[in-house]
Structure 1
Amino acid sequence: MFDKLKSRKAPLSLSSVSNAIRNSGSASLTPELSAKHLKIIAGDQLGLPLDSVVAAAFDPVQSLLAFATKKDSVHVYGQNSVEVVFELRTSGLISHLKFVKGIYLVCIESSGNVTILSLHTKQILATYSAPGSVTAVETDPSMDWLILGMTNGSLLFYDVDRFHLTPLRIDNLQKSVLPKQKLSPVHAIEWHPRDIGTILVTYSHCAVQYSLTSDAIKNAFIYQLTPDCKGFEFSNNFETGGKKKLFGSVKSVIPRMKEAHYHPNGLHIVTVHYDGTFVFFDGNDGTLLQARTLNDTFLHLPGPPVHPELSRDLKLVWTTGQDPEDTTILVSGASDAHPDIIEVLDFGFTLKYTLTSHEKQGEFYAKPRETRRAIPVKFNRRSQEEGAAEHIVNILPIASDGQPYFHGGHNPSHILILTNMGGVHLNELEPTSKPPKIPPSLSSVCPPTTFSTVQTVRRVDWYSVVPSRRVGPSADPVLVSGGAPVDRHFPRPLGVEDGVNDILISGHEDGTVRCLDVTAGERQGGENSISFNLKDTLDTGAGSSSYRVVQVSFSFECKHAIVGLANGNVAICKFGKISNDSMAPPLREEYSNCQILHANGDASIVDLSKRISGRFGQPSFFPSSLLNLSAKDKITCLKMSNAGFAAIGYQSGRLIICDITRGPAVILNLESVVKHLPSVTGECYVTAIEFAIMEYGQDGFSSLLMFLGTNAGGNFLTFKIVPQRNGAFEAVFADKTLGLNYRSTDTNGEAGLNKIMPVNAVTGESAVATLEMFQKLAQSVLVPGLIVVSSPRDLRVLKSPKQKLSHKVIDETCVSSGIITFRNKGAILASVTKSGFIKLFSLPSLSDIADVKFPKDTFARLKNALDNGAALTSSVLYSGEIFINVSSSEVVNLFLYDETKNKPFKSKPTDTLFNDTAVIPTRPSAGALSWAKGQTTYISNKDLTSLIAGPNRKVAKHPESELAYKQY
């Protein structure tokens, strides 16, 4: 029983006695450090769990976007890097998110639990458990009420501002309209867009318009077909599953209803049915105007039977232009064969209600104004062969003018799409010259991330490729602009470097490459980022492997990047202006018509200049050429050097080296690295690549060296990049060192080298090749160097060509290692272990310096990532910041710091979300003619409050209530 009380212990590390003796005369590069004063603190976390989003909400007034995930967390995003995460302890998944009065965020679970969050204090204000499961939810941005539709068909009204259930309860309305039908749950609820005293409630076989003012049903909308109707046969087969009645014949059928929506003027209603039909009604007298599917119309009229295409989870969203009478309907799920298409039915300006007959209104909804257009939603990460197919379950309009009404459908610029598999997609409704900037965390799943790393870049090099910020009308569009960032006041890490930025580089499934500045203390001012997409240029029309990103490597000094693709090709990107028209339609064909710039064996570099397509900034990174292999191969490692050379390793053992900036040209095409490792048996391939400038052996001058690490025991190879008389370069094999890992026979991946770190043997500074040092090679510069190599269990310090200075065996898996450099010269090796420690070792002896333990809460957050291998691609930077990959789409940064050189860090402040100067606009109301005809009944907010909450409504005791009433 006492085993449970044991705390985590640092993993043991064992040194070889012979190596310690050999290294006894080497000068230490590591300054004195006080181990007891070294601490770790967690910084920001970026990203969302992949395929985890279950609900979303948008507040146009506050300009905030919220997502609920399967991990019981709610993420709220605002401008730039503004992000606040609420961790909830829920018993089930959140099914709905609703912004109320600009200051409340309400989370509803289908099990009936309701949680109210404050955007002001960023705390949980209240919770409520409904007496049963919740099947439908409705709120209004300007009112305090949360309407809950229950499984028994009743409606409950919850007072969000006072945190309690109101006395008002409405029983199952379908029982009154269709008493013979089975008891139905509430399928959908919608508040009348012009009359706060009326709601529309959807059940299984009817939609009911109910007046809260008069406590009575105004009318019901029932789609009933008789055998002579065009749509009868199809709907009847759908409802009965094709089974025929044994005795007699079916006299009528009522297709099951899924949801119902108001026209923005409240005068018409559309009901959506499970058989794929949607039906328009007159909202005042209940007359059926038009019954249709996407392709067939007038299904309610006599005529020959039609057989529409089967639908899949049909969804409708009724949106408006700047004028609410100019409407469009977005339809998803209309085709079972194409669940990734949203059809746009643009009806234009609605006919004058009082001057138009029912027949003319029906014809209006049968013929949209323009040719029907489609918005494709790319579900490109699944072959659809395993499990259920992905399809759209929710469409969230993003209103562009700050108008919160019509369910966010007032003049939307974009739509957010949620899928049944937790995916998130962003699509524009109208083509724009520039896509909007989206919150950094959202960009990790929209589209999903396939690769990420963090790289330290000189500030001058970073700002030379980042577009200058624009202000005013020409400013880059943003998806959300609410909230305000705060300075986190993070401590200065152990090895602070001036004049550099930390850049998060990510590759995505749709061919997008993004670079985001994640430098501590600078993100709050508005992050700098660059982004470009390869899909339209590289797409061959034969699947996503031709553009799906698997690895990326940048040289910001040379302004080049190489992007490894799923089919084994490598896109060579350079920074500059595109000369041709990049908005030309994509070719979607093979590269046989592209000019070959250089070839070496079965590897060739083809020119992409004539097929560049897509939206690129001017200037921007763009794919200028492509390294194309004759046979598909999987990329295991690639590196773009600041000296202008690139190397790519493949699963087959192939190694390709290219001169990028002076070519591009393939200067080495090695069929397999086993050629230089004849004693290695089995599969052997490159797992780590690094370019360095240092002295090789006793040359007496420095050379550009390329170091390779492999799997299969951790073999180390060295190549020299040397000039030729014609001005070109060649890669010459120099030497090898075999079996650097003591577990050289392991096949589980722990025997492979995963990182190579060249170090200046005198100053401890990095000896990684730079453009500046490469240009000085002709001056016979001399850089004495050491090479630190790491694997999950072994650390080694080498001196070229074959001298092994020291060796350390880690008893616990090492997930990542890196060199931390100090301002006053010197360096230290830091390794992150699976057990939640950062182990520090001196250089070059690899003596133990300190074991710094993760804080308890930080380790709890990261334990799964450390255990399941997600953290194996983490980055330890020269500054002492560590970026841990929590998953393929999430990263958290840790600070290793000296507490004696920093002020005490108490708690991390959170960003501001609520803007008390943002005013909710007045709710739209019905026209004077509607009041005069008695089609709507006026009721004030005050009277509605008395009607719903009763005369004894309690006085609010929290500041959110007062702030909310200031908004409206």
Structure 2
Amino acid sequence: MAIFEKLSGLAQRAKEHGISKSVIAKDKRLEQSLSTNITQDNVALAHMSTYGMPNLASAIAFDPWTGLLAVCVSAKIPLPSNTPVKYMHFKMGCPLLIVIDRKNTIITIDLKTKRVHHVVPVEAIVTSYEYCVGTDWLCLGLVDGRVQFFDVELGIFADYQTPNLMLPENQPAAADPTTEKFKSQSIVVCLQIHPTDLHLLLVGYETAVFLWDLRERAVKRVFSFEPGEIEIRLTCVIWSPSGHRFMAGYDDGSLRLWDMRSPRQPLTSRKLLPTSGSTDDNVPIYRLAWYVDTSLDSSYLLVAGGSRDFLGLHSLEFDLEQDGQEAQKQSFICSSNEVDDFIMLSRDAYFLGMRDPYGVLILSCDGSVRGFTFDHSYSSLLLPAPLEMLIPPVLFARHIPMLPEESFRTLTSVVDPHVKYLPLTGGSAGRDHVYRIPSNDLLTTIHVGEIIKFWDASFTALKPLPYLTIDTKAALANTKAHIQCINLNQWTNDFSVGFDNGTIFVYQFHLVENQQHEPAHNDAFLASCDDTLKELGDLLQEMEAPLEDDSQTDELQQNNVAPSADNPLNEPEQSGTANTPEEASDLLHTIHISHIDSPHRAPGYYPKLKIQTDGDSITHLTSYRAHL
């Protein structure tokens, strides 16, 4: 019966299929093209993402609590006017950004709603500011010598303010009333709140620094030079980590350390670099920051300025017990351009952010932002894509759409453990935000200096691929050539670069798989060992047994497996397929360089690369491998 039922079911389906074919054959609508039903209104381009920044950076601010970084470029967040921004700071712990423009107007912005809360003009020119962490108060130093206090939450000025401390009637009895310099220089140059006592405020003028007690409304100390000393101007101050001393920078490029117990004479005075003694070599010190490392044994002073021939920051290392009396070592954080400003990426907003910060962000005069860690080599931090496009600025870009799956995974699946990212964890996605596009797209950007960067464009925010970055300047051997065209072979991953002088570079991107190694040991069982001598002896025998194989020992040495914290026994890592990010091995550039010099070529035309041993079109051929 089962066989007959199947046969009858088959016959029924065949009958239905025949009826459907006859119906379809009589349908006149199928004779028309399907494209006739598509109108122009059905096809449109939808905006998905904007790459890069509309302008260069002019101010930066960082909030360690919320993990937000603010970069002022132009009216991304609409401001009441187009006046350039002079100062910018976060109210710590909440998405409130405080902006002071060059017309001395305070603007508070709610980053959640992207709306301006308060617009309050200041009655005098703002020359400095200081935010009191954990409160709503912003201290404003004015050109007339006063310090006002602004409530950023309510958008009003407090009744409390400090007078012009340079006037003789506002100075303590211990100060010298006959000093004429107190009467002339009344601009508030810098402000600094004590790292542990919020009632103490350093108010710095050009010729003196006052320690003001906010609670008692009185001057505690006056730090100034003796009458008759060479006249120099104060530019910035910073408290030491202990809070007993502070370092001051001056316009002659010198640093002076002041102690609370000796206000008339600094403890030490030094220049950052030896100079010829000419006044032309004196560069003002305009920014200071002091922090303590993880071990709490040493402290480091970051200095911007002070030397004309150096671009970057000076780092002075001090013994924490000596509290900055004499620097033990001096190092440098190099920058490609002159430093305009810098901020520390603090882990904790309290104590002036000086306890174990993550790194530093440098704002250069060319409008670019660079990040560095505080390790011994000051490694670079990988910034978000809009900021990376400013280092150096982008000249032009090319979109490479829909790569084959294998080629796309080969180029984008490498995880470089040496790359360190900027610790940004705040913010939220908008309603129309698309995190990832189901495509295999790449974006290539050409930067000043003939540098080529690659980006994974399947992410709307652009995922950087720093291991694919190509710097053609070294291979050009100081030849003044500019990139004219680029091309990527989607199946072989050969990337060619053509220059305006007839030079063509061909780069081959491929993954090199490491050989499989048998693990020598597993130190997981070390934690389970007892303290008995017998168990230690058995453990040592198990550890020594694999090392008796000379071939395996030589194999480990040949592969240069170095001990580390995660691999203390020099275990070679297992490598699987090269298509997964977790198991991908190191990426190598195999670079073939050829120069084609043909007098018959048309302008802008570059013939295909031909690698020949006999021919008059190739003048030189070089090949090298660079391990990233």
> What is the TM-score with the length of structure 1 in the denominator?
0.47
Give, as a single letter, the amino acid of the residue that structure 2 aligns with 1:532.
Answer: L
2:591 aligned with 1:655, yes or no? no
Instruction: Provide the secondary structure at the position in 2 that maps to 1:369.
Output: strand
TM-aligned CA deviation for residue 94 of structure 1:
0.8
Question: Which of 63, 67, 71 matches 1:63?
Answer: 67
Of structures 1 and 2, the one with the larger relative CO (CA 8 A, separation 6+) is 1
TM-aligned CA deviation for residue 409 of structure 1:
4.0
Please list every run of 5 or more consecutive structure 2 residues that lacks an aligned counterpart in the other structure. Answer: 1-31, 172-178, 515-557, 561-583, 620-628
Equivalences for residues 624-639 of structure 1 within 5 A:
624-628=591-595
- Name 2:342's counterpart in structure 1: 395
TM-aligned CA deviation for residue 106 of structure 1:
0.7
- Name 1:143's counterpart in structure 2: 135
Question: Which of 344, 348, 362 matches 2:319?
Answer: 348
Change (3 A) 1:428 1:626: farther
Change (3 A) 1:535 1:37: closer
- Name 1:289's counterpart in structure 2: 267
Change (3 A) 1:138 1:657: same
Change (3 A) 1:664 1:403: farther
Hey, what's the Cα distance between the residues in 1 that align with 2:358 and 2:109?
28
Instruction: Provide the secondary structure at the position in 2 that maps to 1:462.
Output: helix
TM-aligned CA deviation for residue 98 of structure 1:
0.7
Please list every run of 5 or more consecutive structure 1 residues that lacks an aligned counterpart in the other structure. Answer: 1-26, 74-84, 227-250, 298-304, 354-360, 380-390, 492-497, 583-616, 634-648, 672-968
Instruction: Provide the secondary structure at the position in 2 that maps to 1:507.
Output: strand
- Name 2:385's counterpart in structure 1: 440
Aligned 8 A contact 1:264 1:325 in 2? no
2:64 aligned with 1:93, yes or no? no
Change (3 A) 1:536 1:655: closer
Aligned 8 A contact 1:191 1:199 in 2? yes
Instruction: Provide the secondary structure at the position in 1 that maps to 2:382.
Output: coil
TM-aligned CA deviation for residue 215 of structure 1:
0.6
2:465 aligned with 1:532, yes or no? no
The number of residue pairs the alignment matches comes to 505
- Name 1:131's counterpart in structure 2: 123
Question: Which of 186, 192, 214 matches 1:212?
Answer: 214
TM-aligned CA deviation for residue 567 of structure 1:
6.8
Hey, what's the Cα distance between the residues in 2 that align with 1:325 and 1:447?
37
Aligned 8 A contact 2:381 2:421 in 1? yes
- Name 2:586's counterpart in structure 1: 619
Give, as a single letter, the amino acid of the residue that structure 1 aligns with 2:233.
Answer: R
Hey, what's the Cα distance between the residues in 2 that align with 1:215 and 1:669?
83
2:332 aligned with 1:374, yes or no? yes
Q: Equivalent pairs: percent with the same residue?
A: 19
- Name 1:481's counterpart in structure 2: 424
Aligned 8 A contact 1:115 1:126 in 2? yes
Equivalences for residues 167-206 of structure 1 within 5 A:
167-176=159-168, 180=181, 181-206=183-208
Hey, what's the Cα distance between the residues in 2 that align with 1:327 and 1:39?
59
> What is the TM-score with the length of structure 2 in the denominator?
0.70
Give, as a single letter, the amino acid of the residue that structure 2 aligns with 1:573.
Answer: Y
TM-aligned CA deviation for residue 337 of structure 1:
3.0
Equivalences for residues 426-465 of structure 1 within 5 A:
426-430=371-375, 435-458=380-403, 460=405, 461-465=407-411
Give, as a single letter, the amino acid of the residue that structure 2 aligns with 1:514.
Answer: K
Hey, what's the Cα distance between the residues in 1 that align with 2:392 and 2:256?
35
- Name 1:963's counterpart in structure 2: none
Question: Which of 463, 472, 487 matches 1:553?
Answer: 487
Instruction: Provide the secondary structure at the position in 2 that maps to 1:441.
Output: helix
Give, as a single letter, the amino acid of the residue that structure 2 aligns with 1:464.
Answer: T
Aligned 8 A contact 1:437 1:476 in 2? yes
Question: Which of 243, 246, 252 matches 1:266?
Answer: 243
TM-aligned CA deviation for residue 571 of structure 1:
3.4
Give, as a single letter, the amino acid of the residue that structure 2 aligns with 1:444.
Answer: M
Give, as a single letter, the amino acid of the residue that structure 1 aligns with 2:318.
Answer: F
Instruction: Provide the secondary structure at the position in 1 that maps to 2:86.
Output: strand
Hey, what's the Cα distance between the residues in 2 that align with 1:421 and 1:528?
22
Hey, what's the Cα distance between the residues in 2 that align with 1:198 and 1:550?
60
2:165 aligned with 1:222, yes or no? no
Equivalences for residues 457-536 of structure 1 within 5 A:
457-458=402-403, 460=405, 461-467=407-413, 477-483=420-426, 485-486=428-429, 488-489=431-432, 500-509=439-448, 512-519=451-458, 522-523=459-460, 527=463, 529-535=465-471
Change (3 A) 1:570 1:96: farther
Hey, what's the Cα distance between the residues in 2 that align with 1:667 and 1:38?
52
Question: Which of 289, 292, 300 matches 1:317?
Answer: 289
Aligned 8 A contact 1:327 1:350 in 2? no
Change (3 A) 1:433 1:215: closer
Change (3 A) 1:539 1:174: farther
Instruction: Provide the secondary structure at the position in 2 that maps to 1:442.
Output: helix
Question: Which of 494, 505, 509 matches 1:575?
Answer: 509
- Per-residue CA distance 1:734-779 (angstroms, 9 max, x = gap): xxxxxxxxxxxxxxxxxxxxxxxxxxxxxxxxxxxxxxxxxxxxxx
- Name 1:44's counterpart in structure 2: 49
TM-aligned CA deviation for residue 458 of structure 1:
2.7
Hey, what's the Cα distance between the residues in 1 that align with 2:223 and 2:501?
54
Hey, what's the Cα distance between the residues in 2 that align with 1:134 and 1:348?
36
Question: Which of 54, 58, 61 matches 2:58?
Answer: 54
- Name 1:740's counterpart in structure 2: none
TM-aligned CA deviation for residue 131 of structure 1:
0.8
Hey, what's the Cα distance between the residues in 1 that align with 2:272 and 2:379?
31
Hey, what's the Cα distance between the residues in 1 that align with 2:450 and 2:46?
34
Aligned 8 A contact 2:63 2:92 in 1? no
Instruction: Provide the secondary structure at the position in 2 that maps to 1:174.
Output: coil
Hey, what's the Cα distance between the residues in 2 that align with 1:456 and 1:561?
15
TM-aligned CA deviation for residue 392 of structure 1:
1.5
TM-aligned CA deviation for residue 204 of structure 1:
1.2
Aligned 8 A contact 1:398 1:409 in 2? no
Hey, what's the Cα distance between the residues in 1 that align with 2:613 and 2:361?
43
Aligned 8 A contact 2:504 2:609 in 1? no
Change (3 A) 1:32 1:171: same
Change (3 A) 1:307 1:168: same
Give, as a single letter, the amino acid of the residue that structure 1 aligns with 2:491.
Answer: E
- Name 2:525's counterpart in structure 1: none
Aligned 8 A contact 1:280 1:289 in 2? yes
